[in-house]
Amino acid sequence: MGGKHRPGTPRDRALGAELRVLREQSGKSLAEVAGAIHWNVSTLSRLERGQRHISAEAIKGLAAIYDLPPQRRDALMAKASEPVALGWWDRPPAGLTNSLGALASYEHEAVRLTDWSPGVVPGLLQTKEYSIAIMRDWGVSDNDLNPRLGARMQRQELLNSREVDYTAFIGLAALDNRMCGPDDFIRQLRHLIRMSSRDGVTVRIVEAPTSFALGSWYLLDFHHTGPVVHLEHLRSSTFLFDKEANAYVAARARLDEIALSDSQSRARIEELIEKLIMGS
């Protein structure tokens, strides 16, 4: 009756949240329900948190324990049986981590994306040359460079192929951190201006002093489940879910208060381009 050993999707997180509410309404503990269906408590806990795929068979068994009406049981089973949209992340090229595939999957399902990047241009807004310079500085090997670069370009298609609400808050330090040559950096800045003129894409510069400059984060919002935060490290990354992500929702509100407007941000970037051209 257990879920298949596949990682959870945003849909599984929404279903898991519903199942958790149903269990709590039944007055049963995790241990009681897990014992009744001969699961480990950890298995049921992962399902309720959406960290494991939820099958229709699993829902059928849980529905019997929670004494759900047939109509509610069938509706939940239908949700679990809906085909999952497959993307390039389901069969990632060699050299890419599972966490990158998970991030791309979450991006595909999200309705709102917020990047806070105090020191470099965010990945979804990077030009090819800028990305290469960043990856080489990280120490990405020649063998891994092309797969990593290809994945980044694939992720950037989000901003071209569907309606998306994407906001990048970029620290002023990122505009001084010239990771590539002067001409390539000017092209990167011009790319920021072009992207900021697209529907659904907002670029806002943060000049005001802020403690948030300590680190970058990426906040994803969904229709039917709580937010997810992606924290990128040098050689790994971390996902935060639901209550753990609430602090970043508050941080987004604060950045919204202190950041330059989108038009002011474009003007600020244009000023920097002029200075770079005059200085070259």
Q: Percent of the chain having pLDDT more than 90?
A: 58
The 8-class DSSP code of residue 213 comes to G
77, 101: one domain: no
pTM for this predicted structure: 0.80
Average pLDDT score over the chain: 88
54, 113: one domain: no
Mean pLDDT, range 258-268, rounded to an integer: 97
26, 110: one domain: no
208, 145: one domain: yes
Does residue 2 have a pLDDT over 50?
A: no
CATH number for 229:
3.30.870
Mean pLDDT, range 55-71, rounded to an integer: 92
Q: Please report the pLDDT score of residue 1 as a whole number.
A: 43
Q: Convert the pLDDT of each residue in 143-152 to its tens digit.
A: 889 999 999 9
Residue where the block lists tokens 């019997």: 64
Question: Residue 115 phi/psi, 5° resolution?
Answer: -105, 130
- Counted domains in the chain: 2
125, 218: one domain: yes
Does residue 161 have a pLDDT over 90?
A: no
Q: Which residue has the higher pLDDT, 107 or 161?
A: 107
From residue 226, alpha-carbon distances to 7, 48, 107, 110, 241 in Å are 17, 13, 14, 11, 7
Mean pLDDT, range 211-218, rounded to an integer: 92
100, 72: one domain: no
Does residue 88 have a pLDDT over 70?
A: no
Does residue 3 have a pLDDT over 50?
A: no
Q: How many CB atoms lie within 10 A of CB 47?
A: 25
Q: Which residue, among 264, 237, 272, 251, has the nearest Cα to 118 in the 3D structure?
A: 251
Q: Please report the pLDDT score of residue 279 as a whole number.
A: 79
101, 20: one domain: no
**Size (the chain), residues:** 280
Q: Please report the pLDDT score of residue 93 as a whole number.
A: 63
CATH number for 46:
1.10.260.40
Give 207's contacts (C-beta < 8 A, 6+ positions apart).
172, 260, 268
Q: Convert the pLDDT of each residue in 230-240 to its tens digit.
A: 998 877 888 88
pLDDT band of 189, cuts 50, 70, 90: very high
132, 162: one domain: yes
With respect to residue 3, please indicate whether it lies within any of the assigned structural domains.
Answer: no
Q: What gap in Å lies between CA 228 and CA 241, rounded to an integer?
A: 5
Which of 81, 109, 140 delimits the end of a domain? 81
Question: Lowest-confidence range among 100-104, 154-158, 167-171, 245-249?
Answer: 100-104
Q: Please report the pLDDT score of residue 233 as a whole number.
A: 86
58, 155: one domain: no
Does residue 95 have a pLDDT over 70?
A: no
The 8-class DSSP code of residue 7 comes to B
43, 175: one domain: no
Q: Please report the pLDDT score of residue 280 as a whole number.
A: 62
The domain in which residue 218 lies consists of 96-279
60, 111: one domain: no
76, 100: one domain: no
Q: Please report the pLDDT score of residue 256 as a whole number.
A: 97
Give 137's contacts (C-beta < 8 A, 6+ positions apart).
179
pLDDT band of 85, cuts 50, 70, 90: low
